[in-house]
Homo-oligomer: A and B are copies of this chain.
Amino acid sequence: MSDGPLVGVIGGVGPQATAYFLDMVVRLTDAARDQDHLDMVVLNHASIPDRTAFILGESDEDPGAVMAEDARRLAAFGVDFLVLPCNTAHHFVAQIEAAVPVPLVHIVDETVAEVARRVPGAAPVGLLATSGTVRAGVYQRALAAAGASCVLPDDAGQATLMRIIYEQVKAGRPVDLAAFHEVVAGVRARGAQAVILGCTELSVVAADHRLLEADRALVDSLDVLARRTIERAGRRVRG
């Protein structure tokens, strides 16, 4: 490969989010020719068992063991560091990190660090994520460590998000954008000063409808991970 590091992507969770992640990294890299871009190996492992179903106890197929094996295969391929463009999957990150000698850039930690740069430390922060991510508590812990509180959607809002994620984005169907905006408005009405898109399927929605350009208080985890990946690989973010 080239002089630069080789980035390993544990992907497929979901496949569309992984494709968007690769596209974001390419678009956001300050490059004038092919050879200025990052060398990456993307394992788009679509058949990984559902993460939320396992965390909620609805399935006993453990995606953590599969992702740890994927990490091992990528490490054997020669990657210098790993990224995992799925928030829910970060519930399994200790298992993945224990399997390999290479570091992993953590989407939750990096997203919360970005929130802290944009809003005052003690501000309430909205979290739009799968029920698996919410149950796993990964964002709540990271926000608490940063001195911020976490504002979740109400039950109806959370059900709306799960419908958008599973029945629309993952199913390749059109997204009910009005319903999405209503959930954002809901966490804002309850005090959220920033709103984390803490599910990479919601990042797909944001990218398709240019939501980040329209509203700087939305902090998209996939966008943050793409930027940190470029920097970690020693390249500059376009802009």
Contact = CB atoms under 8 A, between A and B. Distances in A.
Nearest to A44: B40
Contacts of A40: 42-44, 46
Given A15-B26, A34-B15, A172 B41 contact: no
B18 A22 contact: yes
A33 B170 contact: yes
Given A41-B41, A42-B42, A172-B238, A48 B34 contact: yes
A231 interface: no
Nearest to A15: B37
Contacts of A23: 16, 19-20, 23
Contacts of A25: 19
Contacts of A19: 19, 22-23, 25-26
Copies of this chain present in the complex amount to 2
A198 interface: no
Given A33-B170, A34-B50, A46-B34, A39 B12 contact: yes
A116 interface: no
A232 interface: no
A1 B45 contact: yes
B41 A47 contact: no
Interface string A149-182: 0000000000000000010001110000000000
Nearest to A86: B34
